[in-house]
Structure 1
């Protein structure tokens, strides 16, 4: 099984090609942004993944998207993450911190102020805040000086992440959040050096990559993108040109990996894979969790080196073992995906086969 083969990249060595995708769980202390004490156990239970990418972690309070999201902007938060990375490493795992600024995908009920974005363009739909589902608000356009401050927020968070024991960081440039908001024309209507042409819209993402790489070294930096993903009201009508240019610009760095979100048809991966010479992690988005067969197919087709699995890891903390054994997969109720409740967090057991019964089914 290709998913169970070791992977050796320029900057990353993994015992298998199964990554745990970043998944918001909302269990942090909402006032302090400090991860819950059980967070260490949660990630350690899943350390058999070749690579764990943490849930999105805000780089500044203004970048927080919803209740219970942890941060990496204070020493207290970093200290709590140290316990998490220690627990993962004790189990032989590797973990990257996903650094996140939500941009306009936030609310005054979450951050106590108007959200910021490249331009004052309101997101369609509703958003979840401390008071439940509520209407979105028009964000405030960042000033040029403020953009530089946000770049440094990413760099400082990356430094804290490494000091807290993370093996690297993944910059969240996907799903309609701040980095992607700068890339898309419908959310970036600026007329200064950060908007307008493709090159100008690439400026902020590339400045973030450069600043973070300077802080911790490019070999510890990854980037997640989701070209053409309409999530959070993003429209990318010139996405092929934008992302082709982005990958061309990124060639000056030997990043740890590129994390690409695509639909099961693989159209984005087919376009970008020839443009990216480094390690590529693929993450499929669809109504159903990515299956083992889909993951195998991506690697066999040469579209990915590593495949990220998300929802399956919630109820199957030992997912690589279950794949290896052909064992049945447990399912988690959607009600336990998010929120302060602790059931459905660390209480999913590893697979324990009934030896005689399982031996028969495994041979059949």
Structure 2
């Protein structure tokens, strides 16, 4: 987006800022309603801009191109306000002061990360303690909102993720504005969600910008990335999201990993291939995990399947469902084969008639 050039746009954004400030003041004044007020404010700024507000914000004078109008055609209020507080930081300062008073409250870091993720990398902060506090709040808040996307299988906060990845992590000048600890935390955060937001094509550039990690992480950027990814997979409970991760994880093919990291990833994927505890994966997840495991680690895939089959035989209560799925797979394969033969014969007959 471009800076607001019309008085109407500026007045509208200024009014939004005042409403946010009033709600934060009410939260400070009402301890019993504080959490509900902050949650309501978070929901408000995360809403998609409606048509009426869009016409005001994206006035013709601004000449916004479609590519700039949010992510994948959507534009949320936090997108607009984050830009506004960069253009007019003096309007954001009262809100920032109120958020600081509410640091320990739920949704305070969420709101800070949405409204001030761009401001943090555009202003000059000389106080290292304040900078570390803001950076930590940004990472914490971003983690929370990305998990909201995970739980709802949505991409409402994709613009925030893209900014942190493409405009911060991949831009050394901006990245160096925050302390090393915050840089490390940011890269660990991005590692956990980069597949969810369909940005696996950025992995090459992402690894080149990885900050130095303590000796606890023995290995290169790829090892750190895979360790975080494996931990993330273990936490996912939403089936469509887990299936999406398992399809995206094939981008790891060919990466050089330590033996311990490789074994960790294998164990993680293998845990999704068997029914029952502790993961209780669905049949779709089990098949997707097998596909990912065989794709990334083709050596030893047949012994793995034989061992898995042997252990399945130890649990008779799984036999009926396994036999039924096997029969249905065979029937589908036979029907597909017959259908292919019919289509092939029909094409030959049509060509014969034409000739």
TM superposition score category, shorter chain reference: 0.3 to 0.5
Richer in strand (by share): 1
Richer in helix (by share): 2
Question: Structure 1-normalised TM-score?
Answer: 0.32
Query: Which structure has the bigger radius of gyration?
Result: 2
Question: Structure 2-normalised TM-score?
Answer: 0.33
